[in-house]
Amino acid sequence: MCDSGYTAQTEKPLVFQRLTIELIRLWQTTGHILELPASGVSMLPLIRTGDRLTVHCTSLKALRNGDIIVYTDGIQTIVHRLIDRQRIETGWLACQKGDNLKGWTWVPETQVIGRVLGLIKADNNEWSTTTGLWRLINPCIAMPATIGVRLLESAPPNRWIIQQSRGLLMTVIWIVQQTLLRMMIMRK
């Protein structure tokens, strides 16, 4: 039921999706591990439909840039990469982005469910996303997007050239991220 950008089981009735989110929230209070199925394309090439995600329910404070996070938009669960965090008056916001997407959004910390610790691929191979080389490469995958988001969001509106090159910048970031991901996947 995780949307990795992934629309989590959109064929399920809305009431079922909301109940599932409430059950996940209840599970989150235990701090235990949860296994969720993935569907969608926003985290390609790493996460594919049919993969199962091992999720550690935790708060935004325990996460690092580059971690693959699970959050809810109130209707479905979504899996994207944590790009940045920002303090606001009422708490924290998480900037998240799908690896296969060029845009990003900010979500309140209350919507963050936890971190993806590993993947069980459709062929039953298990991958840890928080140990070894992945622990080093995850922040590197997030870094181009972090720089791009900070640059674009801090640019004054009269900086026409920066605003006009937004699409190009996000495309370059996407290419860098996809290249890093594909290199890591080929190592498996």
Give the model's pLDDT for residue 145: 93
CA 149 – CA 136 distance, rounded (Å):
21
What is the b/e burial string over 19-58, where b = at least 16 CB atoms within 10 angstroms of the residue's CB? Answer: ebbeebeebbeeeeebebebbbbbbbebbbeebbbbbbbb
Give the model's pLDDT for residue 19: 65
Residue 22 tokens read as 């409430």
Rounded to two decimals, the pTM is 0.83
Asked if 121 and 127 count as a contact pair (C-beta separation under 8 A), the reply is: yes
Domains, the chain, with CATH or none: 2-187 (2.10.109.10)
Give the model's pLDDT for residue 15: 58
Q: What is the DSSP string of 31-81?
A: T-EEEEEEESSTTTTTS-TT-EEEEEE--GGG--TT-EEEEE-SSSEEEEE
Blockwise average pLDDT, block size 10, the chain, 188 residues: 42 60 75 86 94 92 95 88 96 96 93 93 91 90 92 76 77 91 82
Beta bridge partners of 80: 69
CA 69 – CA 88 distance, rounded (Å):
20
CA 133 – CA 155 distance, rounded (Å):
34
Residues 6+ apart with CB under 8 A from 38: 2, 3, 4, 6, 47, 48, 49, 50, 51, 52, 53, 79
Residues 6+ apart with CB under 8 A from 83: 65, 95, 96, 97, 104, 142, 145, 146, 149
